[in-house]
C-alpha cells in the first residue's frame, strides 16, 4: 500500500486482514443495507455516528486507522474525516477507477494531506 490515503478495494481488504481490524454491524439491519458499524482494533474502537453500508464501513475504518496511526491525527477528527470521505465518494468498487473523477479525488486527498499537516503543526 502506498503512503497516500487512496485505496482500492483490495488494499482495504488486505489492510483489514493484516492489521486484525474487526468491523461489526451494531444494529439488526442486513449487512447490504445501511446500519451502524463499529471498528475494533488494538488501537481502540470507534462507533461511526452515521449509517453506512458494510463496504463503506470497511473503507472508513481503514482510513480512520491509517489517519490515526500513520499520520498522528487524533481519533475524533480522523473518524469525522473518514465518514466525510465515504459519504462523498463511491468506495470499494471493483473497478480500479473507483471514486468519482480523478480530479475530484486528488482535491480531496490534497485537502486531507493539508489537514493532517495543519493538525501536526498544531500539536507540536
Residue at 76 is within a domain: yes
Residue 107 included in any domain? yes
**Cβ(101)–Cβ(119) under 8 Å?**
no
Residues recorded for the chain: 124
Q: Does residue 99 sit within a domain?
A: yes
Model pLDDT, residue 13: 95
CB 69 within 8 A of CB 39: no
What's the confidence (pLDDT) of residue 103? 72
Q: What is the per-residue pLDDT for 42?
A: 82
Predicted local distance difference test score (pLDDT) of residue 95: 56
Domain count, the chain: 1
Residue 35 belongs to some domain of the structure: yes
Show the domain range for 61: 9-123
Q: Answer whether residue 115 is part of any domain.
A: yes
Q: Is residue 4 part of a domain?
A: no
pLDDT at position 31 is 63
Burial of 94 (0-12, 13-18, 19+ CB in 10 A): exposed
Find the largest Cα–Cα distance for the chain.
44
Q: What is the pLDDT along the chain (124 residues), one digit of tens a residue?
A: 556 677 889 999 999 999 999 999 988 777 668 889 999 988 778 888 899 999 999 999 999 999 988 889 988 899 999 999 998 888 887 654 544 566 777 777 788 888 888 887 777 6
Amino acid at each position: 500500500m502506498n503512503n497516500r490515503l487512496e485505496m482500492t478495494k483490495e488494499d482495504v481488504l488486505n489492510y483489514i486482514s493484516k492489521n486484525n481490524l474487526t468491523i461489526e454491524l451494531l444494529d439488526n439491519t442486513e449487512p447490504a443495507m445501511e446500519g451502524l458499524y463499529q471498528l475494533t482494533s488494538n488501537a481502540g474502537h470507534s462507533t461511526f455516528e452515521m449509517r453506512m453500508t458494510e463496504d463503506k464501513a470497511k473503507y472508513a475504518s481503514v482510513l480512520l486507522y491509517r489517519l490515526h496511526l500513520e499520520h498522528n491525527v487524533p481519533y475524533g477528527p480522523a473518524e469525522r474525516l473518514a465518514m466525510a470521505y465515504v459519504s462523498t465518494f463511491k468506495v470499494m468498487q471493483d473497478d480500479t477507477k473507483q471514486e468519482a473523477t480523478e480530479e475530484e479525488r486528488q482535491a480531496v486527498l490534497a485537502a486531507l494531506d493539508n489537514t493532517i499537516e495543519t493538525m501536526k503543526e498544531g500539536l507540536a
